[in-house]
Structure 1
C-alpha cells in the first residue's frame, strides 16, 4: 500500500480497524508513505529554500537532513502510533535501516541533487517483520554502498518494494474515489483504465488539475511484477477489504487491455 503521509495520518479510525482485521485474517499489509507537504512546511519554517524539477524535489545536504527528519522521524512514527492505537502491531523504519532500499543518483543528479533511483530492496527485512506479526511502515529514504542517503519519490519506492516482494497488485490510498469520467453528464468512477487511456484523458482534459500527478504517480508504481494499481479513497467504508478481496472499488490501472480480465 502506498499512501501520502498527510493522507494516511488523517484517515478515520475505521480504516485502521479494517487494516488490523485484514492482518488478523492472514493478509500481510506493507505501507510505504510519503510526506511532501510536511517536508515543505518544515523547510519553510527553517528558511531553507528548495524547488522542484519534473515533480522531484531539489535535494541538497540541508534539504536531505529535513527530508529524513520529517519522513523517518515525524510522519513514520505518527503512522505507527495510529496503527498501534487501533490494536495492530506496527514497526516503522526507513530505507536506510539494514540497507532496506538501495539507491543510486538519478540521471539528472547534477541538477536535482541527492535524489535517487532504487537499485534493490532487501525484501528479507520486510518479510521478517511481517513474520513477527508487525505491519511494516517504510519511509522512502535510500542509501548506497558508500553510506550516501537519497531522497526517493514515495511512488517509486512503493513500486520497487511491491515488485521485489512479488506483489501483483498495489493499493494507492488517496482522498478521491478513483479516476472520474463524465458519462451522460454525470461523473462516474472508471472501474478499469489502461495507461494509454489515461494519457488520452490527460490530453483531452478529462483528467486535469490535481488528479494528473495522482494518476502519473500510480502509473509509476507499475513496474516489475506489479501488474495493476488500484486508486481508492481511504475514507470509503470497507475500502481495504473491497480492494483486497472483493473488487468493485476505486479504479484499477493496468498496462493494457489484457489486464482488464
Structure 2
C-alpha cells in the first residue's frame, strides 16, 4: 500500500474537523493509502513562550532556539500537540501512535547555519523502519519535529522541512494541509485555483503579489521537498477532507507543485 505524508501546521490544527481524522482512518482501513502525519506547533510555542515570559531573538527572521526555548518547544509539540492529535484519531476509533523524531532516533539531524540559530537543525537521516513497523501493525504514525542530534542533544526542526525529509525517505507524496483550496488568484473578477504550478510559476506569482503572507513559506517548502526527491507535493484544504480523496483519485483539486510537468496519477 502506498504511503502519503500529511503535514499539518500548527496554525490549522485548531480548525480541522473530526471528519479529517475520520477520512484518514478510512483511507488506511480501505487500503487506499498508509497515512503518516508530521505536525508543527509554531503558534502554540509562541503562546507558551509569551506566558512564560521567555524572550526570543531572531537572526534573518529565524528564531534562535536556546536551550530554554527548546525545552518549551519539546513540551508543546511532543507533549500537548502530539498527544492531542493521537486522541483525535482514537476518538474516531483509529489507532494512532505518537512519537517524536528523538524516539528510536527516527529523525537524525545536524545544526543549521553553523549553530548560529542554536538548537535548530536539518534532517540528515530518517529511520523509516520505525514508521514501517507502526504502519504494518495497523497504526498511523504521528510525528513531532524534534530530532536527535549528536550525543544527547535534541534539535528543533521546521515542520515543513521535517515532513519533506520523511516523504523523501519513504519515497512518497507530500500533502500540505491548508485552510484554503490551494493557490488562488482573481482574474477578470473571477477567483480561480492554480491546480498546477512549477517553481518558475510560483516565483512569478510571489513577485506579482498573488502568493503572499503565510502561503509563501508553504509553497517554497513544497518546492524544496521536490529537490530532495519527493514524488509530488500538493496543497489541499483540510477543512474539506473530501478534497484529499478526490486528489488520491486523480481529480483536479488543490495545487500540485512539481519541478516541471504534472506527474500523472497511477
Normalised by the shorter chain, which TM-score bucket? over 0.9
Matched, 1:46 2:52: yes
Secondary structure of 1:188's aligned partner: strand
Aligned residues: 258
Secondary structure of 1:29's aligned partner: strand
Matched, 1:207 2:211: yes
Pairing of 1:109-148 with structure 2 (within 5 A): 109-110=115-116, 112-148=117-153
CA distance change for structure 1 residues 229 and 52 in 2, over 3 Å: closer, same or farther? farther
* Cα pair 1:159 1:223 within 8 Å, conserved: no
1:79 is aligned to 85
1:107 is aligned to 113
Q: Give the Cα separation in 2 of the matches to 1:186 and 1:217.
A: 28
How much has 1:119 moved relative to structure 2? 0.5
After superposition, what is the alpha-carbon deviation per residue over 1:171-194, rounded to whole angstroms, capped at 9, x for unaligned?
100111100122222121111010
Q: Give the Cα separation in 1 of the matches to 2:158 and 2:91.
A: 28
Greater helix fraction, Structure 1 or Structure 2: 1
1:222 to 219, 226, 241: 226
* Cα pair 1:163 1:223 within 8 Å, conserved: no
2:199 is aligned to 195
* Cα pair 2:23 2:241 within 8 Å, conserved: no
Matched, 1:185 2:189: yes
How much has 1:200 moved relative to structure 2? 0.7
User: Which consecutive segments of 4 or more residues in structure 1 shift more than 6 A?
Assistant: none
Secondary structure of 1:161's aligned partner: helix
Matched, 1:17 2:22: yes
Secondary structure of 1:5's aligned partner: coil
Secondary structure of 1:182's aligned partner: strand
* Cα pair 1:141 1:150 within 8 Å, conserved: yes
2:244 is aligned to 240
After superposition, what is the alpha-carbon deviation per residue over 1:152-199, rounded to whole angstroms, capped at 9, x for unaligned?
0001100000110111x2110011110012222212111101011000
CA distance change for structure 1 residues 40 and 65 in 2, over 3 Å: closer, same or farther? same
Q: Give the Cα separation in 2 of the matches to 1:194 and 1:106.
A: 27
Unaligned runs of 5+ in 1: none
Unaligned runs of 5+ in 2: 1-5
Secondary structure of 2:216's aligned partner: helix
Q: Give the Cα separation in 1 of the matches to 2:154 and 2:60.
A: 21
CA distance change for structure 1 residues 86 and 229 in 2, over 3 Å: closer, same or farther? same
1:95 is aligned to 101
CA distance change for structure 1 residues 208 and 5 in 2, over 3 Å: closer, same or farther? closer
How much has 1:221 moved relative to structure 2? 2.6
2:160 is aligned to 155
